[in-house]
Structure 1
Amino acid sequence: MFIDFYSIHSINNGKVIIGYTEYFSKYFHITVTKRNYQDIKDIPSNRNNVIIKSNNDYFLIQCIFYTQYIKSNKIIKFDYKKHNIPENIYLMIISLICVR
């Protein structure tokens, strides 16, 4: 199974990751944002909004899948350490785009 990552860029308190998963034959748009407890306590955690704790920080991972997308000619290597993404957040991102 292959996962193609097209872009990863920073936003306020987080990252946006765009790519393609062969497992679902779909494109994905993932937003990972660091939140405080007051911001996330009323957000339901479901398959599109995942709340996860890493050390003392809370993260909201929002995942949207598309069947059609403008394919990028550039595939990048995704290095979670380079982008300062905690390991458990990285594992959740991979599981969201590989397991449903």
Structure 2
Amino acid sequence: MVKFCSSQTGFQNLKQILLGSLFILESIVIEDGSLPSLEKFKLVGITELKEVPSGLYKLSKLEVFHAINMSDEFQENFNLNRGQGQWIIE
């Protein structure tokens, strides 16, 4: 599991994240208040990830979300919970 936690000193100014080829990663949790400046989030080839990262829709500055070479189950879950913005599943 990857967990992004709210913190005064942690990723407050991070604008982009790329996570790729993490073959055993099964979940991503984004807590309220973490990653307040994130604008772009990209996931590539994380085949064990079945659900959209928890808290993704609470990222107020997120403009672009890309998920490439993900599982069919991830794509189905994404489409069921789709939000606004330029979010792409390939």
How does the TM-score come out when normalised to structure 1? Answer: 0.28
- Name the larger-Rg structure: 1
Q: Under a length normalisation based on structure 2, what TM-score does the superposition of the two structures give?
A: 0.29
